[in-house]
Amino acid sequence: MDIKKIFVAGAGLMGGGIAQICAQRGYQVTISDISQDLVDKGLAKVKWSVEKLVSKGKVPGTVDEIMGRIRGVTDLEAAGEADFVFEAIIEKLPAKQELFAKLDQICPAHAIFASNTSAIPITNIAGATQRPAQFVGTHFFSPVPMMKIVEVIRGLLTSEETMAAAERLCRDIGKETIRVNMDVAGFALNRINFPSTIEAIRLVEAGVVSVEDVDKGMRLGFGRAMGPLETSDMSGLDIGYNAYLAVYEETKNEKFYPPMLLQRKVKVGHLGRKTGIGWYIYDEQGQKLGPAPLVHDKDQK
């Protein structure tokens, strides 16, 4: 299938990043969200990122050319001509099912659906549509313009044709792919990564080690570009919480259960860079100022 027009549902960090790399490679992209304010904020962040890459000579073309390939909308009807749909909304199954049920009625019969979920089984989301054979998981990593890997996940009914088309598209927009052949919650890479991040939070919660030392140790000891809690702040503590819970509910394995400290932080809205405070505190430009005070039970009155 010849993919020319791409629809991205969700203008946040992940959706904006996916829209950006598609536009940089010449695709016509429509990005949507539930309000014009969210769309505008998402496009502004995409433009900022594109400007940085163009100024450094890392992508061909001009900022205006690349941004000219992206249009922002709040109406799902704009997906009516899409050849391929990327979904990057909140990490909750009912929300994803509701979205795809609507898109299933709007999009052309040939369109392929792809969820960027980091943990929810693809088969569970695809069940909301009449095209499970054309439904695939494409799990990008944050920040999307910089991270090279994408997991391509086969749902129970995903066809080989759909898998191959998703792999070709991801490679064409500059990514390397790995295949996940079994539709397990958390897929492959997060099934490896989640327990280590959860254990890091538990060690901080127990007072064994500080937030800063966890991240410094993981950067310097294991060669990571960012520590696990820095990464958590970038992607959003609520995103991690929902993903861990999705894997726990599927497996009932306690190692995936969100630690109490993470639950408390999510409850009070300490979600990371997007709220100015998570494991660290950030200024208005998103620059890290220092570690955030830990949230304890006594603060929840």
Cα dihedral 124→127→128→129 (10° resolution): 140
Name 29's bridge partners. 6, 70
Using a CB cutoff of 8 Å and minimum separation of 24, what contacts does 74-77 make?
A: 74/32, 74/33, 74/34, 74/35, 74/36, 74/39, 75/32, 76/9, 76/32, 76/102, 76/103, 76/106, 77/106
Residues labelled as active-site residues? 118, 139, 151, 190
Taking the mean position of all CA atoms in its chain, how far away is CA 295? Answer: 26
Q: Which residues does residue 152 pair with via DSSP β-bridges, in sequence order?
A: 138, 179
- How far apart are the C-alpha atoms of 215 and 4, rounded to whole Å? 41
Residues facing residue 233 across a β-bridge: none
Tell me the CA distances in angstroms from 5 to 31, 179, 186, one per residue in order. Answer: 11, 24, 29
CA distance 170 to 175: 6
**Beta-carbon contacts of residue 96 (< 8 Å; ≥ 6 apart):** 87, 89, 90, 115, 117, 120, 125, 128
Which H helix or E strand runs over 190? helix 189-205
- What does the DSSP 8-state code read for residue 119? S
CA distance 47 to 143: 14
